[in-house]
Structure formats: C-alpha cells, structure tokens
C-alpha cells in the first residue's frame, strides 16, 4: 500500500493539552515502546514479585503510571503484537495464532508470511509516519517480513534468517543481513541508542524495542545473571507439578526451578538493558519529552497451574490471568503523575487510540475495538456520561473470555474442554470453577451476552 493511500485513512488531527510542570505545549512527544516477550505482570518487582530483580523497570513505574490490570487480547506473540500495533482483534486482522490464516496446532516450518487479510492493515507506525514522526524498530517483529518490516519504518534492526541466538545472532539491518558478534539484547540496545542519537528536535520519533527476553532460547545471557539466581528456589511463585493438560512447554516442568532460574536471569538482563536505554535518552536531553512505555506481548505461567508458557501451554488453550496479564507502565517525566497506579481494566487493543490521541494523529478509519486511556494516564476525569468500560475480552483458538473487575467467563466452543467462571476477588489463582453454580447463573449469562455482542461487533 502506498504512502499516499495510507494517508487517506487519517482524520482531522486533534491537539492534546499535555499536563506538565510549566503548563501546556503543542510539541509532539517522542515515544519509546519497549515490548518484552512472554513476561507476566506478576513477575516484575513493581507488581509485587519478591524474587526476580527488575530495578530499572521498577524505577520507571515509580516515576510514572502503572496499570494494575492490563491484559493482552490473545496470549501468543505474533497475534498479540498485531493487535497492539493495529488496535484490532485477531479476527479482524487475521493473525489468530501463528502466522497462518487459520489457527493451527503447531507452528508451520519456514512460515514467514502473514495472512492476506493482514497485509492491508494500518499500523501505528503508518499513522505516526503520516503525522510527521520518524519511526524505528529494533528487535523481535514476528508479523511477516521479519528482515525488513514494511510499515513506514525509517530504520529497522530485526532478526535475520535462521535460528534465534542470544550470542552472535544473525540480524538484518534495514533489510541487509548482518552477522553480529556479541550478546543479542546488548546489540539491540546499542542500535536503539544509535537511532536515538541521530534524532533531532526537528521531528519527533517513535522507536519500538522488542526484546526477545525471556523467550527461549534460555542460553547465552551474561553469566552474572545466572549467578544472581543460582540459589533462588522461587518459593513465592506457587508453582505446581505438571498438569495433565500441559502441552507446549511441558518439558520445562521437568526441571522447573532450573528453568525458572534461567528465565529470571533473562528478565533481569533485559531490565539492565532498559536502564541503559533510559540513560541514553537522558544523555541526549530528551527525557522530558519522551514517553517510555513498558509492556509485553503475552504472559507466562512459570509453573502455576502446572504449566509453563502462555496460552499454548495447555491443550485446550488457556486464558489464565498469568497468560494474559501483562505489564503496562507509562513514564513521561514532568507530564504524568508519579507513583500512580490505575485500577481500570485495559487491553493492548487500547494502545493505538491512546497514542493517536496523545500525538494528535488521526485514528485510522477502521473498526477499532479499543478506547484511548489518555485521561487515565494524565489523571483527568472521564465524562460522566462515558465512564471507563468494565469488561475486556480475549481469545485463542476455540477459547474466548469476558472479564470484568470481579468475574471471568471462559467459553470453549465445539465442546473442546470445560467452560469456566471464576470469582477473581475471592479466587485470584482461578482454582474454583463456578460455571455450573446456580448462584452465578446471572453473572454467567451477563458476561456471555457481552462476549457475544463484542464478537458480533469486532469479528
């Protein structure tokens, strides 16, 4: 799709009065979006974890806004990233699992392309490029054309052909294969810092850094991080023996503590890189006008429910909170409240409209299912006649979910596995299935109706 064609989707640009120390400004903020791979919110210190060390992420949370209940619409990497960047559901953009037009049991060998339905999607980089932003992408892409993402990126440094490696990886720099020497996450941070160094005040920039950590492979991280967890047993995790439904990641349960140590090392290593990235932004003098967003594509059960991984960790697929609850931190020095925690339910399909409003870029003329949470970030009141919604939705394969602040309904179509209803206040670990409870028929029917209405509108 040409640049001129993509610009036709833009509506009128709306200006936003940014709350800051010295009043309002119309200067567009820079945006650095950090996407981790397979990190649940509960594994970070700022979300209450006592055993995995994430001091740099925790510092960003203390200096900004942390969403306590942030979720992905689908707990698998490619599909989740597609929703994050388009603001549309998997049924809408077409990536419903791995990179295939239809859900599959296992990833196809050598599959690199996306469904035809996805090729015409408008992505956040398209919107921001048309609004005057330089756009860069570093790291894990996973939405087709890995070697050279096509969506108006001025600079790309992504995974090249071949197996992923944490040491001496094969990468692609603006579409040209490069064989690197060194540690993957460090190389990514270095390229991201180089991109930031080249930016000027003449144009704002949008940079995404998609770290692979803590996604496999688990080998190749700096030894000091393995040493950091050599004696940690993760007693607070609440892990269990392998479940009968365990599927992908089942082998990880054979040496659970050992694999948790490797995963924790990967998380802490990424945290160090995020600190270096923030230092670069500060040294460049861009800290006050750069929004730093920390999130993940999906969660990881890390042994809870006897499963290791995200939605694919079990068969049938699961939508446990550990799989779908992801961190969401907005740090914008001098513009947003500090040490703020928002309790509202938000989803990764809300990112597109939020960034569009903050930057004054027009939303694409598509059926977006999300809503801008700018008032929540800036601590502004919502219109009395338009309060924040109380229900979010998720899906994977035959499994669909509607979740409000108290109850979660999980429906599995075609009779493949049990339907579920959990009271998330009384049963945060989702152990007691209330689906057949006579006392909860009204709740089940209400959430079921909401789920059907959402599917009808956004399928």
What is the reported pLDDT for 98? 77
- pLDDT confidence band for 6 (50 / 70 / 90): very low
What is the reported pLDDT for 360? 93
What is the reported pLDDT for 446? 98
Q: Where in the chain is the domain with CATH 3.40.720.10?
A: 3-392
Task: For 439-453, write each residue's pLDDT tens digit.
Answer: 999 999 999 999 999
**DSSP type of residue 22:** T
**Cα–Cα distance, 339 to 41 (Å, whole number):** 17
- Whether residue 56 contacts residue 49, with contact meaning beta carbons closer than 8 Å, is answered with no
Share of the chain above pLDDT 70, in %: 91
Q: What is the pTM of this model?
A: 0.92
Cis peptide before 149 (omega within 30 of 0): no
Residue 240 predicted with pLDDT over 50: yes
Lowest mean pLDDT among 154-158, 334-338, 455-459: 455-459
Report domain 398-459's class.
alpha beta
Task: For 41-91, write each residue's pLDDT tens digit.
Answer: 999 999 999 999 999 999 999 999 999 999 999 999 999 999 999 999 999
Lowest mean pLDDT among 90-104, 181-195, 429-443: 90-104
* Length in residues, the chain: 459
Residue 306 predicted with pLDDT over 80: yes
Which fold is adopted by the domain 3-392?
Answer: Alkaline Phosphatase, subunit A (3.40.720)
Residue 19 predicted with pLDDT over 60: no
Average pLDDT, the chain: 91
CA atoms lying within 13 Å on the CB side of residue 249 = 31
- pLDDT confidence band for 143 (50 / 70 / 90): very high
Task: For 104-132, write each residue's pLDDT tens digit.
Answer: 555 655 555 678 888 889 999 999 999 99
What is the reported pLDDT for 105? 55
Positive or negative: CA dihedral 144, 90, 264, 49? positive
- Whether residue 64 contacts residue 329, with contact meaning beta carbons closer than 8 Å, is answered with yes
- pLDDT confidence band for 329 (50 / 70 / 90): very high
What is the reported pLDDT for 103? 57
Residue 175 predicted with pLDDT over 60: yes
Task: For 372-411, write each residue's pLDDT tens digit.
Answer: 999 999 999 999 999 999 999 999 989 999 999 999 999 9
Task: For 353-380, write each residue's pLDDT tens digit.
Answer: 999 999 999 888 888 999 999 999 999 9
Strands of the 65-71 sheet, one edge to the other = 176-179, 170-173, 155-159, 134-139, 205-210, 30-36, 290-296, 328-331, 65-71, 340-347
Residue 335 tokens, joined: 């513009």
- pLDDT confidence band for 14 (50 / 70 / 90): very low
Rounded mean pLDDT of 274-284? Answer: 97
What is the reported pLDDT for 459? 75
CA 182 to chain centre: 26
- pLDDT confidence band for 13 (50 / 70 / 90): very low
What is the reported pLDDT for 115? 80
What is the reported pLDDT for 378? 96
Q: Where in the chain is the domain with CATH 3.30.1120?
A: 398-459
What is the reported pLDDT for 36? 97
What is the reported pLDDT for 101? 56
Specify the pairing of strand 407-412 against strand 420-423.
Answer: antiparallel
**Cα–Cα distance, 350 to 88 (Å, whole number):** 9
Strands of the 420-423 sheet, one edge to the other = 392-396, 399-403, 407-412, 420-423
Share of the chain above pLDDT 90, in %: 83
Nearest alpha carbon to residue 37 among 300, 313, 252, 328: 300
What is the reported pLDDT for 118? 87
CB atoms near residue 106 (< 10 Å): 10
CA distances from 384 to 67, 180, 381, 387 (A): 22, 55, 8, 6
What is the reported pLDDT for 102? 56
**Cα–Cα distance, 112 to 60 (Å, whole number):** 35
């Amino acid at each position: 799709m040409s640049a001129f064609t993509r610009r036709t989707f833009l509506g009128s640009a709306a200006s936003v009065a940014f709350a800051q120390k010295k009043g309002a400004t119309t200067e567009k903020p820079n945006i650095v979006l950090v996407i981790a791979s397979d990190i649940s919110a509960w594994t970070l210190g700022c979300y209450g974890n006592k055993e995995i060390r994430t001091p740099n992420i925790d510092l960003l949370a203390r200096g900004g806004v942390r969403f306590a209940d942030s979720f992905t619409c689908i707990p698998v990497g490619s599909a989740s990233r597609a929703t994050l960047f388009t603001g549309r559901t998997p049924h809408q953009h077409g990536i419903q699992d791995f990179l295939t037009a239809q859900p599959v049991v296992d990833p196809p060998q050598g599959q690199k392309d996306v469904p035809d339905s996805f090729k015409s999607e408008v992505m956040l980089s398209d919107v921001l490029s048309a609004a005057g932003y330089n756009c860069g992408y570093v790291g894990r892409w996973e939405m087709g054309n890995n070697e050279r993402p096509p969506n108006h990126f001025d600079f790309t440094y992504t995974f090249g052909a071949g197996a992923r490696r944490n040491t001496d990886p094969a990468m692609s720099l603006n579409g040209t294969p490069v064989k690197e020497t060194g540690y993957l996450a460090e190389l990514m941070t270095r390229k991201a810092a180089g991109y930031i160094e080249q930016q000027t005040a003449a144009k704002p920039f949008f940079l995404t850094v998609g770290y692979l950590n803590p996604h496999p492979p688990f080998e190749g991280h700096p030894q000091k991080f393995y040493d950091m967890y050599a004696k940690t047993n993760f007693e607070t995790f609440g892990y269990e023996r392998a479940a009968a439904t365990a599927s992908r990641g089942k082998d990880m349960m054979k040496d659970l503590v050992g694999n948790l140590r490797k995963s924790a090392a990967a998380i802490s290593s990424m945290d160090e890189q995020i600190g270096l990235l923030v230092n670069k932004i500060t040294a460049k003098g861009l800290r006050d006008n750069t929004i730093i967003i920390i999130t993940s594509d999906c969660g990881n059960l890390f042994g809870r429910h006897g499963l290791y991984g995200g939605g694919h960790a079990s068969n049938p697929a699961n939508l446990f909170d550990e799989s779908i609850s992801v961190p969401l931190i907005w740090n914008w020095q001098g513009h947003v409240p500090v040490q703020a925690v928002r309790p509202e339910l938000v989803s990764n399909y809300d990112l597109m409209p939020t960034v569009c409003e903050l930057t004054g870029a027009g939303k694409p003329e598509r059926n977006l299912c999300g809503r801008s949470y700018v008032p929540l970030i800036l601590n502004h009141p919502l219109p009395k006649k338009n309060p924040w919604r109380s229900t979010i939705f998720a899906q994977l394969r035959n499994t669909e979910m509607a979740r409000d602040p108290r109850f979660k309904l999980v429906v599995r179509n075609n009779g493949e596995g049990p339907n579920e209803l959990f009271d998330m206040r009384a049963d945060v670990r989702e152990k007691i299935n209330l689906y057949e409870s006579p006392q909860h028929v009204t709740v089940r029917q209400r959430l079921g109706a909401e789920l059907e209405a959402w599917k009808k509108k956004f399928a």
